[in-house]
Amino acid sequence: MSKEPVSIYYLYRENRDDIVGETIRALLDNGCRANSDGATHGWRVTASRDWDHVDSIEEVIDLLDSADSGRCEVWAERMPIEVSIDIETSRVPTGFRHVALSVSNLYFKETSHDDDRTRDEYLGRFLQLSNAVHRRTEPFCGYGFYRSPRIERYVPTEEQVITGDIDYPCWANYFSRRTVDSIGRETILSAPVHRTETLHDDSILLVVNQYPYQFPGADQDAVVDHLGLSLPT
Q: What is the mean pLDDT of the chain?
A: 85
Kindly report the CA angle at 14 between 161 and 102, in degrees rounded to 5?
75
Whether the Cβ atoms of residue 93 and residue 66 lie closer than 8 Å to each other: no
Whether the Cβ atoms of residue 172 and residue 205 lie closer than 8 Å to each other: yes
Whether the Cβ atoms of residue 108 and residue 119 lie closer than 8 Å to each other: yes
Q: How high is the pLDDT of residue 195?
A: 94
Q: How high is the pLDDT of residue 131?
A: 97
Distance of CA 19 to the CA centre of its chain: 14
Q: Mean pLDDT, to the nearest integer, of 204-215?
A: 90
Domain annotation for the chain: domains and CATH numbers: 5-139 (3.30.310), 164-227 (no CATH)
Query: What secondary structure letter does DSSP report for 200?
Result: T
Q: Mean pLDDT, to the nearest integer, of 73-87?
A: 85
pLDDT tens-digit series, residues 44-66: 898 877 788 888 888 988 888 77
pTM above 0.75, yes or no: yes
Q: Which residues are CB-neighbours of 96 under 8 A, at least 6 positions away?
A: 11, 12, 13, 14, 140, 158, 161
pLDDT tens-digit series, residues 182-195: 999 999 999 999 99
Of residues 88 and 76, which shows the higher confidence score?
76
Phi, psi of 23 (to 5 degrees): -65, -50
